[in-house]
Structures are given as C-alpha cells and as structure tokens.
Amino acid sequence: MSMKDIILSEYERRFKSISKEVSEKSKELKETNSKLLEKMVEEKTKELEEINSKLGKFKGLEEQRSFIVEKNYSGIRGFIHKKGEEVKVFSNEGEDVTKFFEKALEQAKTLSECDFILDCQAIKSKDNTVFYATDLLYLDNDLTDLPLHKRKNLLKQLNFSDSIKESPTVTARTSADLRKAIELFDKLDRKSGILIKRLGGKYSSGKSDDWIEYVEGGEDDKGNIVE
C-alpha cells in the first residue's frame, strides 16, 4: 500500500466514523431538543468539516508528485534578520528577542555577506540554542514568490555554523521515496513528526495548501489524523 493510500484511508475512516456519529446525534437531537446534545452535534460537525478539508488538501498535495520532506521541530519559531552588520531575531509574533541569542547573532554575521531573512526553529538545550533554518525569505531580494526548491538551493549556499544549521531535507518524487523519507525521519525522532512540502510551493508563514504535517502513530498537537 502506498503512503498516499495509507494516509487517505485513515482520513476517510475517521470521516465516515464521525459522519455516522453526527447523523445519529442529529436524530437524537430532534427527539430530545437537548442543548447539550446540540452543542455536541455542532462540535462534531465542525470536526467533520476540518477533516474533510484536510482530506482534500492531501489529495491535492499528493497529485503534485514531488515533495521536500523535513523534520517538524518541536522548538521555538524565530526569524533571523541580517541587514549590513546588524542582526536581529524576531519571534513568530514579531517580538524582538535578539537579546536572548547572543552566540547565534555573532555566527549569523558570517552566514553571508548579503542581507537575509531566515525562517528557523530554535531548539534550546542546557548550554546552547541551535537554530535550524527551514526556509530563506530574503537574500538581497524578496524570495517568497520563488518555488520552494529554488529557495532551498539558495539556502544551501549559506555558511552554516554550530549554532545555525540547515534543516536536513529529503526529496521525494514517488510514494516509495515518501515512505523511505518518513521512515528515515521517524528513526531520528518519532514524536516530532515531519512536514511534507510541495517542491513548487511559494512561501507562506502560516497554513498553506502547499504542505501538510504528518505524525505517525496517532494525532499530532494540531489534530491532524494519522495512522
């Protein structure tokens, strides 16, 4: 069974299960007129709509055939901005958090002579914080309209260090490639899961039809249904 079939079958199984539950609860609601039951039906209907949306999203993504697969870090999202000799770090909410990452700041200056903006995940340890760069938004020019594979190629040209590293990726062009990539990242860290991104996708800071999150062995913290 292909990875497409594995993921889609799980979405469809959950969809059918909740559809049946909504139908039964709706019938019961007509008979009892219970406010508690009405709220339950509303919540289940909303969940049904979300699953249906994810199902359609993955089908569209799978049809593209070519993906980049990478680890979904359970860290703090941050953006490293370099302009001239000045380097700053901003949180996902736009807050300036530069003062907390002095070591990374010094190393960021050596990544490139160009001005740049990196989308990163910061992983904290007892003695250090490592930034894993997942995307490059700017390199003396705005790159957000470029396809992902071109941004990744530019990202590889930076001079990474021990505090700022490139996020490892695997390119998958077939279902077999996708399964191997998932198995590879699963061995490294089963809990964090992976991101499957369309090679031709443009940059998006939030949810997008160009990527999907996959966690094997349950539901992730965003409620994505998985095998």
How much is the mean pLDDT over the chain? 75
pLDDT at 42: 62
Tens digit of each residue's pLDDT (9 = 90 or more) over 11-51: 556 556 655 665 665 666 556 655 665 565 566 556 555 55
Question: What amino acid is encoded at 185 in this protein?
Answer: F
Question: What amino acid is encoded at 31 in this protein?
Answer: E
**Angle of helix 175-188 versus helix 3-32 axis, rounded to 10:** 80
Q: Are residues 104 and 154 in the same domain?
A: yes
Which of 136, 129, 137 has the alpha carbon at shortest distance from 158? 136
Q: What is the mean pLDDT of residues 102-107?
A: 84
Contact 169, 71 (CB under 8 A): no
Considering only 2-11, 29-38, 59-68, 166-175, which range has the smallest mean pLDDT?
Answer: 2-11
Tens digit of each residue's pLDDT (9 = 90 or more) over 203-214: 887 777 777 776
Distance between terminal CA atoms of the chain? Answer: 13
Has residue 222 been placed in a domain? no
pLDDT band at 134 (very low <50, low <70, confident <90, very high): very high
Determine how many CB atoms are found less than 10 A away from the CB of residue 122.
22
Q: Are residues 86 and 151 in the same domain?
A: yes
In terms of residue numbers, what domain contains 196? Answer: 67-71+171-214
